[in-house]
Amino acid sequence: MRVCNVVAARPNFMKMAPVVLELQKRGVDQFLVHTGQHYDANMSDVFFEELGMPRPDVHLGVGSGSHATQTAAVLTAFEATCLERKPTMVVVAGDVNSTIAAGLAATKLRIPVAHVEAGLRSFDRDMPEEINRILTDHLSDLLFATEEDGVVNLKNEGISGEKVHLVGNCMVDSLFRHVESALSNRPWEARGVEPSKYALLTIHRPSNVDDDNALRALMKAINRVSLALPVVFPVHPRTRDRMGRAGIVLADGVKLCEPMPYLAFLGMMAKAKCVLTDSGGIQEETTALGVPCLTLRENTERPVTIKQGTNRLVGSDPQAIEGAVGEVLEGRWPVGVRPALWDGHAAVRIADVLTAYTR
Ligand code: UD1
Protein backbone atom coordinates (compact mmCIF):
# COMPACT_ATOMS: atom_id res chain seq x y z
CA MET A 1 0.00 0.00 0.00
CA ARG A 2 1.26 3.47 -0.93
CA VAL A 3 -0.96 6.41 0.00
CA CYS A 4 -0.76 9.80 -1.68
CA ASN A 5 -2.33 12.58 0.43
CA VAL A 6 -3.26 15.77 -1.41
CA VAL A 7 -3.47 19.27 0.08
CA ALA A 8 -4.07 22.51 -1.78
CA ALA A 9 -5.70 25.37 0.06
CA ARG A 10 -6.02 26.69 3.59
CA PRO A 11 -9.08 24.66 4.63
CA ASN A 12 -7.41 21.38 3.58
CA PHE A 13 -4.51 21.45 5.99
CA MET A 14 -6.39 20.95 9.26
CA LYS A 15 -8.50 18.20 7.68
CA MET A 16 -5.57 16.22 6.28
CA ALA A 17 -3.03 16.66 9.09
CA PRO A 18 -4.73 14.14 11.45
CA VAL A 19 -4.96 11.57 8.62
CA VAL A 20 -1.30 11.99 7.63
CA LEU A 21 -0.17 11.75 11.27
CA GLU A 22 -2.32 8.68 11.98
CA LEU A 23 -1.00 6.85 8.91
CA GLN A 24 2.53 7.84 9.91
CA LYS A 25 1.94 6.34 13.36
CA ARG A 26 0.92 3.06 11.71
CA GLY A 27 4.03 3.02 9.50
CA VAL A 28 2.05 3.25 6.25
CA ASP A 29 4.09 4.14 3.14
CA GLN A 30 2.77 7.55 2.15
CA PHE A 31 3.72 10.84 0.50
CA LEU A 32 2.24 14.32 0.54
CA VAL A 33 1.45 16.45 -2.50
CA HIS A 34 0.73 20.21 -2.26
CA THR A 35 -0.92 21.50 -5.42
CA GLY A 36 0.03 25.11 -4.59
CA GLN A 37 -3.51 26.49 -4.99
CA HIS A 38 -2.74 28.60 -1.91
CA TYR A 39 0.83 29.84 -1.87
CA ASP A 40 1.17 32.89 0.43
CA ALA A 41 3.13 31.94 3.55
CA ASN A 42 0.24 32.90 5.82
CA MET A 43 -2.27 30.93 3.71
CA SER A 44 -0.12 27.80 3.58
CA ASP A 45 3.40 27.31 5.08
CA VAL A 46 2.53 28.33 8.61
CA PHE A 47 -0.12 25.61 8.83
CA PHE A 48 2.42 22.83 8.28
CA GLU A 49 4.54 24.03 11.17
CA GLU A 50 1.66 24.47 13.58
CA LEU A 51 -0.16 21.26 12.71
CA GLY A 52 3.05 19.22 12.96
CA MET A 53 2.54 17.98 9.42
CA PRO A 54 5.51 16.79 7.34
CA ARG A 55 6.59 19.12 4.52
CA PRO A 56 5.14 18.19 1.11
CA ASP A 57 7.19 15.65 -0.83
CA VAL A 58 5.93 17.13 -4.09
CA HIS A 59 4.88 20.73 -4.79
CA LEU A 60 2.94 21.27 -8.02
CA GLY A 61 3.06 25.08 -7.82
CA VAL A 62 -0.17 25.69 -9.77
CA GLY A 63 -1.09 29.04 -8.12
CA SER A 64 -4.18 31.11 -8.97
CA GLY A 65 -6.19 31.37 -12.16
CA SER A 66 -9.68 30.94 -13.57
CA HIS A 67 -11.49 27.77 -12.54
CA ALA A 68 -10.60 26.02 -15.77
CA THR A 69 -6.97 27.15 -15.69
CA GLN A 70 -6.43 26.13 -12.08
CA THR A 71 -8.26 22.81 -12.40
CA ALA A 72 -6.49 21.91 -15.63
CA ALA A 73 -3.06 22.76 -14.20
CA VAL A 74 -3.62 20.42 -11.23
CA LEU A 75 -5.05 17.70 -13.49
CA THR A 76 -1.98 17.72 -15.73
CA ALA A 77 0.65 18.04 -13.02
CA PHE A 78 -0.94 15.52 -10.66
CA GLU A 79 -1.30 12.90 -13.38
CA ALA A 80 2.47 13.11 -13.94
CA THR A 81 3.09 12.72 -10.19
CA CYS A 82 0.88 9.62 -10.04
CA LEU A 83 2.62 8.06 -13.04
CA GLU A 84 6.01 8.70 -11.48
CA ARG A 85 5.30 7.75 -7.86
CA LYS A 86 2.65 5.06 -8.40
CA PRO A 87 0.41 5.44 -5.32
CA THR A 88 -2.15 2.69 -4.68
CA MET A 89 -4.58 5.13 -3.03
CA VAL A 90 -5.10 8.89 -3.36
CA VAL A 91 -6.72 10.80 -0.49
CA VAL A 92 -8.32 14.19 -1.23
CA ALA A 93 -10.21 16.48 1.13
CA GLY A 94 -12.97 19.07 1.02
CA ASP A 95 -14.31 20.86 -2.03
CA VAL A 96 -11.68 23.13 -3.56
CA ASN A 97 -10.72 23.05 -7.25
CA SER A 98 -7.65 20.93 -6.51
CA THR A 99 -9.85 18.28 -4.85
CA ILE A 100 -11.81 17.48 -8.00
CA ALA A 101 -8.74 17.85 -10.22
CA ALA A 102 -6.55 15.44 -8.24
CA GLY A 103 -9.42 12.98 -7.81
CA LEU A 104 -10.15 12.99 -11.55
CA ALA A 105 -6.52 12.49 -12.56
CA ALA A 106 -6.18 9.55 -10.15
CA THR A 107 -9.38 7.75 -11.03
CA LYS A 108 -8.62 7.95 -14.77
CA LEU A 109 -5.41 6.10 -13.97
CA ARG A 110 -7.60 3.61 -12.04
CA ILE A 111 -6.04 4.54 -8.71
CA PRO A 112 -8.66 4.31 -5.93
CA VAL A 113 -9.67 7.70 -4.51
CA ALA A 114 -10.77 8.41 -0.93
CA HIS A 115 -12.68 11.63 -0.22
CA VAL A 116 -12.44 13.15 3.25
CA GLU A 117 -15.56 15.25 3.98
CA ALA A 118 -17.88 13.52 1.50
CA GLY A 119 -21.60 14.04 1.02
CA LEU A 120 -21.99 17.70 1.98
CA ARG A 121 -24.46 19.55 -0.26
CA SER A 122 -25.61 23.17 -0.32
CA PHE A 123 -27.92 22.39 -3.29
CA ASP A 124 -26.65 25.65 -4.78
CA ARG A 125 -24.74 25.19 -8.02
CA ASP A 126 -23.80 28.87 -8.06
CA MET A 127 -21.12 27.82 -5.57
CA PRO A 128 -18.15 26.33 -7.44
CA GLU A 129 -17.53 24.15 -4.38
CA GLU A 130 -20.90 22.40 -4.89
CA ILE A 131 -19.85 21.20 -8.34
CA ASN A 132 -16.51 20.07 -6.90
CA ARG A 133 -18.26 18.14 -4.10
CA ILE A 134 -20.70 16.31 -6.36
CA LEU A 135 -18.12 15.30 -8.93
CA THR A 136 -15.52 14.24 -6.36
CA ASP A 137 -18.04 12.07 -4.53
CA HIS A 138 -19.16 10.37 -7.73
CA LEU A 139 -15.64 9.42 -8.79
CA SER A 140 -14.47 8.31 -5.32
CA ASP A 141 -14.10 4.71 -4.14
CA LEU A 142 -14.18 5.54 -0.43
CA LEU A 143 -16.35 8.34 0.93
CA PHE A 144 -15.77 9.60 4.46
CA ALA A 145 -18.78 11.54 5.73
CA THR A 146 -18.68 13.99 8.63
CA GLU A 147 -22.39 13.98 9.41
CA GLU A 148 -25.48 11.83 8.88
CA ASP A 149 -26.97 14.28 6.33
CA GLY A 150 -23.97 13.59 4.12
CA VAL A 151 -24.72 9.86 4.16
CA VAL A 152 -28.35 10.55 3.18
CA ASN A 153 -27.29 12.88 0.33
CA LEU A 154 -24.97 10.24 -1.11
CA LYS A 155 -27.68 7.59 -0.91
CA ASN A 156 -30.14 9.92 -2.67
CA GLU A 157 -27.63 10.35 -5.49
CA GLY A 158 -27.38 6.60 -5.95
CA ILE A 159 -23.89 6.10 -4.52
CA SER A 160 -23.45 2.59 -3.14
CA GLY A 161 -23.63 2.49 0.66
CA GLU A 162 -20.66 0.09 0.70
CA LYS A 163 -18.34 2.94 -0.24
CA VAL A 164 -19.66 5.34 2.40
CA HIS A 165 -18.28 5.55 5.95
CA LEU A 166 -19.61 7.93 8.59
CA VAL A 167 -16.38 8.70 10.44
CA GLY A 168 -16.89 12.14 12.00
CA ASN A 169 -14.92 15.30 11.47
CA CYS A 170 -11.14 15.47 11.00
CA MET A 171 -11.17 19.25 11.38
CA VAL A 172 -12.45 18.69 14.91
CA ASP A 173 -9.59 16.21 15.51
CA SER A 174 -7.16 19.07 14.80
CA LEU A 175 -9.18 21.47 16.92
CA PHE A 176 -9.14 19.23 20.00
CA ARG A 177 -5.45 18.51 19.57
CA HIS A 178 -4.49 22.20 19.47
CA VAL A 179 -7.07 24.26 21.33
CA GLU A 180 -5.25 24.31 24.66
CA SER A 181 -1.99 25.59 23.26
CA ALA A 182 -3.95 28.04 21.08
CA LEU A 183 -5.53 29.52 24.22
CA SER A 184 -2.31 29.57 26.21
CA ASN A 185 -0.83 31.97 23.61
CA ARG A 186 -3.61 34.53 24.41
CA PRO A 187 -3.83 35.75 20.78
CA TRP A 188 -6.48 38.40 21.63
CA GLU A 189 -3.86 40.47 23.47
CA ALA A 190 -1.93 41.18 20.25
CA ARG A 191 -5.22 42.30 18.62
CA GLY A 192 -6.09 44.71 21.43
CA VAL A 193 -9.32 43.00 22.55
CA GLU A 194 -10.47 41.10 25.63
CA PRO A 195 -11.86 37.53 25.83
CA SER A 196 -15.64 37.36 25.11
CA LYS A 197 -15.67 41.06 24.20
CA TYR A 198 -15.16 40.94 20.45
CA ALA A 199 -16.62 39.48 17.28
CA LEU A 200 -14.45 37.65 14.74
CA LEU A 201 -15.20 38.15 11.02
CA THR A 202 -14.10 36.26 7.89
CA ILE A 203 -15.49 36.70 4.37
CA HIS A 204 -14.16 35.51 1.03
CA ARG A 205 -17.04 33.88 -0.92
CA PRO A 206 -17.50 35.32 -4.42
CA SER A 207 -21.22 35.92 -3.64
CA ASN A 208 -20.23 38.29 -0.81
CA VAL A 209 -17.07 39.95 -2.10
CA ASP A 210 -17.08 39.96 -5.90
CA ASP A 211 -20.01 42.38 -6.25
CA ASP A 212 -19.02 45.89 -5.10
CA ASN A 213 -22.53 46.87 -3.96
CA ALA A 214 -23.08 43.64 -2.03
CA LEU A 215 -19.70 44.06 -0.33
CA ARG A 216 -20.38 47.72 0.53
CA ALA A 217 -23.76 46.83 2.11
CA LEU A 218 -22.21 44.00 4.10
CA MET A 219 -19.33 46.10 5.40
CA LYS A 220 -21.73 48.93 6.32
CA ALA A 221 -23.54 46.46 8.59
CA ILE A 222 -20.22 45.32 10.06
CA ASN A 223 -19.24 48.94 10.74
CA ARG A 224 -22.49 49.35 12.71
CA VAL A 225 -21.93 46.11 14.63
CA SER A 226 -18.50 47.40 15.65
CA LEU A 227 -20.13 50.29 17.54
CA ALA A 228 -21.40 47.72 20.07
CA LEU A 229 -18.68 45.06 19.78
CA PRO A 230 -15.17 45.39 18.31
CA VAL A 231 -14.80 43.25 15.19
CA VAL A 232 -11.47 41.52 14.50
CA PHE A 233 -11.20 40.93 10.75
CA PRO A 234 -8.36 38.77 9.37
CA VAL A 235 -8.76 39.49 5.68
CA HIS A 236 -8.41 36.95 2.85
CA PRO A 237 -6.25 38.28 -0.05
CA ARG A 238 -9.19 38.12 -2.43
CA THR A 239 -11.36 40.19 -0.04
CA ARG A 240 -8.62 42.76 0.56
CA ASP A 241 -8.33 43.24 -3.18
CA ARG A 242 -12.11 43.66 -3.65
CA MET A 243 -12.44 46.06 -0.70
CA GLY A 244 -9.75 48.29 -2.16
CA ARG A 245 -11.49 48.28 -5.53
CA ALA A 246 -14.88 49.13 -3.96
CA GLY A 247 -13.34 51.98 -1.93
CA ILE A 248 -14.62 50.66 1.39
CA VAL A 249 -13.84 52.63 4.54
CA LEU A 250 -13.89 50.72 7.81
CA ALA A 251 -15.03 52.07 11.19
CA ASP A 252 -12.48 52.37 14.02
CA GLY A 253 -14.04 49.37 15.77
CA VAL A 254 -13.16 47.06 12.88
CA LYS A 255 -9.64 45.75 13.41
CA LEU A 256 -8.32 44.64 10.06
CA CYS A 257 -5.34 42.25 10.07
CA GLU A 258 -3.54 39.73 7.88
CA PRO A 259 -4.86 36.14 7.61
CA MET A 260 -3.98 34.45 10.90
CA PRO A 261 -1.99 31.29 11.49
CA TYR A 262 -4.02 28.28 12.64
CA LEU A 263 -3.32 28.54 16.37
CA ALA A 264 -3.98 32.29 16.59
CA PHE A 265 -7.26 31.93 14.72
CA LEU A 266 -8.34 28.94 16.81
CA GLY A 267 -7.63 30.85 20.03
CA MET A 268 -9.49 33.90 18.71
CA MET A 269 -12.50 31.75 17.74
CA ALA A 270 -12.62 29.98 21.09
CA LYS A 271 -12.87 33.27 23.03
CA ALA A 272 -15.03 35.26 20.60
CA LYS A 273 -18.44 36.53 21.68
CA CYS A 274 -19.56 35.46 18.23
CA VAL A 275 -18.12 34.67 14.82
CA LEU A 276 -19.46 36.12 11.56
CA THR A 277 -18.38 34.14 8.51
CA ASP A 278 -19.13 32.79 5.06
CA SER A 279 -16.62 29.93 5.48
CA GLY A 280 -17.76 26.31 5.60
CA GLY A 281 -15.23 24.96 8.07
CA ILE A 282 -15.69 27.76 10.58
CA GLN A 283 -19.36 26.82 10.91
CA GLU A 284 -18.14 23.43 12.14
CA GLU A 285 -15.34 24.70 14.36
CA THR A 286 -17.67 27.11 16.18
CA THR A 287 -20.16 24.31 16.78
CA ALA A 288 -17.37 22.16 18.23
CA LEU A 289 -16.33 25.08 20.46
CA GLY A 290 -19.89 26.09 21.44
CA VAL A 291 -19.37 29.65 20.14
CA PRO A 292 -22.27 31.47 18.36
CA CYS A 293 -21.80 31.49 14.58
CA LEU A 294 -23.64 33.91 12.28
CA THR A 295 -23.27 32.59 8.77
CA LEU A 296 -23.36 35.32 6.14
CA ARG A 297 -24.89 33.06 3.48
CA GLU A 298 -28.36 31.99 2.37
CA ASN A 299 -27.61 28.26 2.63
CA THR A 300 -25.21 25.79 4.18
CA GLU A 301 -23.88 22.38 3.18
CA ARG A 302 -23.38 21.65 6.89
CA PRO A 303 -26.96 21.50 8.28
CA VAL A 304 -25.96 19.64 11.44
CA THR A 305 -24.32 22.86 12.69
CA ILE A 306 -27.77 24.48 12.64
CA LYS A 307 -29.86 21.50 13.79
CA GLN A 308 -27.54 20.63 16.67
CA GLY A 309 -24.86 23.30 16.90
CA THR A 310 -24.48 27.05 17.39
CA ASN A 311 -24.81 28.10 13.77
CA ARG A 312 -27.56 30.17 12.18
CA LEU A 313 -27.96 31.42 8.60
CA VAL A 314 -28.13 35.20 8.77
CA GLY A 315 -27.59 35.96 5.06
CA SER A 316 -26.32 39.34 3.94
CA ASP A 317 -29.21 41.61 4.95
CA PRO A 318 -27.73 44.37 7.16
CA GLN A 319 -30.73 44.45 9.53
CA ALA A 320 -30.64 40.68 9.99
CA ILE A 321 -26.91 40.81 10.78
CA GLU A 322 -27.30 43.59 13.35
CA GLY A 323 -30.37 41.86 14.84
CA ALA A 324 -28.52 38.57 15.23
CA VAL A 325 -25.54 40.23 16.93
CA GLY A 326 -28.06 41.92 19.25
CA GLU A 327 -29.45 38.50 20.18
CA VAL A 328 -25.96 37.26 20.99
CA LEU A 329 -25.29 40.28 23.19
CA GLU A 330 -28.58 39.72 25.03
CA GLY A 331 -27.61 36.09 25.67
CA ARG A 332 -30.36 34.71 23.44
CA TRP A 333 -28.47 32.17 21.33
CA PRO A 334 -28.72 28.36 21.29
CA VAL A 335 -25.92 26.66 23.24
CA GLY A 336 -25.94 23.61 20.95
CA VAL A 337 -24.45 20.14 21.27
CA ARG A 338 -21.49 18.58 19.50
CA PRO A 339 -22.63 16.22 16.69
CA ALA A 340 -22.03 12.47 16.92
CA LEU A 341 -18.46 11.34 16.17
CA TRP A 342 -17.03 14.87 16.37
CA ASP A 343 -14.90 13.45 19.13
CA GLY A 344 -11.29 13.90 18.00
CA HIS A 345 -10.96 10.37 16.59
CA ALA A 346 -12.18 10.69 13.00
CA ALA A 347 -8.70 10.13 11.54
CA VAL A 348 -8.35 6.86 13.47
CA ARG A 349 -11.57 5.60 11.86
CA ILE A 350 -10.38 6.80 8.43
CA ALA A 351 -7.02 5.04 8.81
CA ASP A 352 -8.84 1.82 9.84
CA VAL A 353 -10.86 1.88 6.61
CA LEU A 354 -7.92 2.88 4.40
CA THR A 355 -5.63 0.17 5.68
CA ALA A 356 -8.33 -2.50 5.35
CA TYR A 357 -9.23 -1.48 1.78
CA THR A 358 -8.83 -3.90 -1.10
CA ARG A 359 -10.47 -3.34 -4.47
C1 UD1 B 1 -10.56 28.67 -2.25
C2 UD1 B 1 -11.69 27.65 -2.44
C3 UD1 B 1 -12.76 27.85 -1.37
C4 UD1 B 1 -12.15 27.91 0.02
C5 UD1 B 1 -11.06 28.97 0.05
C6 UD1 B 1 -10.39 29.11 1.40
C7 UD1 B 1 -12.14 26.93 -4.74
C8 UD1 B 1 -13.07 27.04 -5.87
N9 UD1 B 1 -12.33 27.76 -3.72
O10 UD1 B 1 -11.12 29.96 -2.49
O11 UD1 B 1 -13.67 26.77 -1.43
O12 UD1 B 1 -13.17 28.22 0.94
O13 UD1 B 1 -10.07 28.60 -0.93
O14 UD1 B 1 -9.55 30.24 1.39
O15 UD1 B 1 -11.26 26.10 -4.78
N16 UD1 B 1 -4.72 34.40 -3.31
C17 UD1 B 1 -3.57 34.93 -2.81
N18 UD1 B 1 -2.72 34.10 -2.11
C19 UD1 B 1 -2.98 32.79 -1.92
C20 UD1 B 1 -4.15 32.25 -2.47
C21 UD1 B 1 -5.01 33.06 -3.15
O22 UD1 B 1 -3.29 36.11 -2.95
O23 UD1 B 1 -2.15 32.10 -1.29
C24 UD1 B 1 -5.66 35.29 -4.02
C25 UD1 B 1 -5.43 35.35 -5.51
O26 UD1 B 1 -5.73 36.63 -5.95
C27 UD1 B 1 -6.47 34.39 -6.04
C28 UD1 B 1 -7.61 34.59 -5.05
O29 UD1 B 1 -6.97 34.83 -3.81
O30 UD1 B 1 -6.81 34.64 -7.36
C31 UD1 B 1 -8.53 33.43 -4.95
O32 UD1 B 1 -7.81 32.25 -4.64
P33 UD1 B 1 -8.44 30.81 -5.06
O34 UD1 B 1 -7.58 29.71 -4.58
O35 UD1 B 1 -8.80 30.83 -6.51
O36 UD1 B 1 -9.82 30.81 -4.31
P37 UD1 B 1 -10.20 31.18 -2.80
O38 UD1 B 1 -11.08 32.37 -2.87
O39 UD1 B 1 -9.03 31.23 -1.89
pLDDT above 90: residue 213 = yes
- The pLDDT of 96-104, averaged and rounded, is 98
Any atom of ligand 1 within 6 Å of the Cβ of 281: no
Q: How far is the CA of 42 from the centre of ligand 1 (A)?
A: 13
Tell me what the pLDDT averaged over the chain comes to: 97
Q: How far is the CA of 184 from the centre of ligand 1 (A)?
A: 30
Any atom of ligand 1 within 6 Å of the Cβ of 129: yes
- Portion of the chain with pLDDT greater than 90, in percent: 99
Residue 12, phi then psi, degrees to nearest 5: -80, -30
Q: How far is the CA of 206 from the centre of ligand 1 (A)?
A: 10
**pLDDT tens, residue by residue, 145-158:** 999 999 999 999 99
Please report the atom of ligand 1 found closest to the CA of residue 38. 23
13-32 burial, b for 16+ CB within 10 Å, e for fewer?
bbbbbbbbbbbeeeebebbb
* Catalytic sites, residue numbers: 204
Do the beta carbons of residue 89 and residue 112 sit within 8 Å? yes
**pLDDT tens, residue by residue, 131-179:** 999 999 999 999 999 999 999 999 999 999 999 999 999 999 999 999 9
- CA dihedral over 289, 267, 189, 226, signed as positive or negative: negative
User: What gap in Å lies between CA 58 and CA 78, rounded to an integer?
Assistant: 10
Any atom of ligand 1 within 6 Å of the Cβ of 314: no
At 358, the pLDDT band (50, 70, 90 cuts) reads: confident
For residue 251, the model assigns a pLDDT of: 98
For residue 217, the model assigns a pLDDT of: 94
Any atom of ligand 1 within 6 Å of the Cβ of 240: no
